[in-house]
């Protein structure tokens, strides 16, 4: 087990992450354990059945990963991952009202010119 304090984590997060790839890291805050960092590869957690797609789905849905990066994490082709998202009701394309209106205008222009 490795130990880092909050200021050490704040000043050098890369070092704490490197340590977490090898062993569990306890983050101390004012001489009290506050958090634990555990490397996902080290634990083998990502190798469990369905874990990668589930994690990729949540990270995409919450806006932390793009579609392509989430598909890569899930170890799926982009089209397969997009179909997976659609099956479970997660929108693949997220546009606000203005963006949707712009896309519709572009589509209408394209159809008119065809």
Confidence class for position 39, pLDDT limits 50, 70, 90: confident
Query: Does residue 90 have a pLDDT over 90?
Result: yes
Rg (CA), the chain: 21
Q: What is the pLDDT of residue 83?
A: 96
Between CA 90 and CA 41, with CA 75 as vertex, the angle to 5 degrees is 110
The predicted model scores a pTM of 0.69
Q: Is residue 77 assigned to a domain?
A: yes
Between helix 51-61 and helix 67-74 the angle, nearest 10°, is 170
Same domain? 8 vs 37: yes
Same domain? 36 vs 60: no
Summarised one tens digit per residue, pLDDT across range 14-24 is: 999 999 988 88
Q: Is residue 110 assigned to a domain?
A: no
Phi then psi dihedrals of residue 2, to 5 deg: -105, 155
Q: Nearest to residue 90, comparing CAs of 47, 59, 114?
A: 59
Q: In this structure, are residues 5 and 29 in contact, taking their beta carbons and an 8 Å threshold?
A: yes
Same domain? 35 vs 68: no
Instruction: State which residues form the domain around 54.
Output: 45-91
Question: Based on the structure, what is the number of domains in the chain?
Answer: 2
Q: Is residue 108 assigned to a domain?
A: no
Q: Is residue 101 assigned to a domain?
A: no
Summarised one tens digit per residue, pLDDT across range 51-79 is: 999 999 999 999 999 999 999 999 999 99
């Amino acid at each position: 087990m490795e130990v880092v304090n909050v200021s050490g984590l704040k000043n050098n997060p890369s070092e704490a992450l490197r340590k977490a790839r090898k062993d569990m890291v306890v983050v101390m805050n004012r001489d009290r354990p506050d958090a634990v960092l555990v490397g996902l590869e080290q634990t083998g957690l990502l190798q469990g059945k369905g874990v990668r797609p589930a994690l990729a789905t949540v990270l995409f849905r919450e806006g932390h990963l793009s579609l392509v990066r989430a598909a890569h994490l899930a170890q799926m082709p982009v089209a397969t991952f997009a179909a997976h998202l659609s099956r479970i009701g997660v929108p693949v394309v997220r546009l606000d009202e203005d963006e949707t209106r712009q896309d519709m205008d572009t589509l209408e222009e394209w159809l008119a010119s065809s």
